[in-house]
Amino acid sequence: MHRVTECRASPDYKLWLRFDDGLEGSVFLGNLLEVGAFSAWRDVAQFCRATLDRTAATVVWDGGIRLDPDILYQDLVSSRTRKEFNSPGRFSGD
């Protein structure tokens, strides 16, 4: 199980995370705004109130929203892989 050790939410619906193994980076969560449980985030100030629950080692918001740290970890790894794959010079001849 992965553990979030730091987090910061920004007004562009990105959540910066650091995990206990040193992995860090941002994931975009704006795509969750249309899901009922996350509709409170339409008020960007509410989204920016993300805090770290040190006991559960994950990110939480008022109203009981908490995100699975393993899913956040996989989202971060996936977004990094996509960026590396799409970067210029990735393939010879670029």
Residue 93 covered by a domain: no
Predicted TM-score (pTM) of this structure: 0.83
CA separation for the pair 24, 44 (Å, rounded): 23
Angle at alpha carbon of residue 34, lines to 66 and 62, rounded to 5°? 30
User: What sign does the dihedral 9-15-18-19 (CA atoms) show?
Assistant: positive
How many domains does the chain divide into? 1
3 state SS of 33? coil
5 close to 18: Cβ distance less than 8 angstroms: yes
CATH number at residue 71: 3.30.2020.10
pLDDT tens column, 40-89? 999 999 999 999 999 999 999 998 999 999 999 999 999 877 665 455 55
Residue 92 covered by a domain: no
Residue 8 covered by a domain: yes
Task: Provide the residue range defining the domain that includes 81.
Answer: 4-86
Other beta carbons within 10 Å of 20: 13
